[in-house]
Amino acid sequence: MTSTLVLGGARSGKSRFAESLAAGFKGARIYIATAETMDGEMAERIARHRSDRGSGWTTFEAPVALAEAVREGTLEGKFVLIDCVTVWLGNLMHHGIDHDPHVDALCDVVKVSKGRLVIVSNEVGQGIVPDNPMARRFRDIQGMTNQQLAPRRTRWCS
**CATH number of the domain residue 132 falls in:** 3.40.50.300
Half-sphere exposure of 157 (CA within 13 A, CB side): 17
Looking at residue 128, what DSSP letter applies? P
Cβ(107)–Cβ(67) under 8 Å? no
49 is catalytic: yes
Q: How many domains does the chain have?
A: 1
User: What's the pLDDT tens digit per position in 75-131?
Assistant: 777 999 999 999 999 999 999 999 999 999 999 998 888 888 999 999 988 878 889
Domain membership of residue 53 as a residue range:
2-157
What pTM did the predictor assign? Answer: 0.88
The C-alpha atoms of residue 157 and residue 139 are separated, in whole angstroms, by 20
Task: Please say whether the dihedral angle defined by the alpha carbons of residues 92, 104, 30 and 120, taken in this order, is positive or negative.
Answer: positive
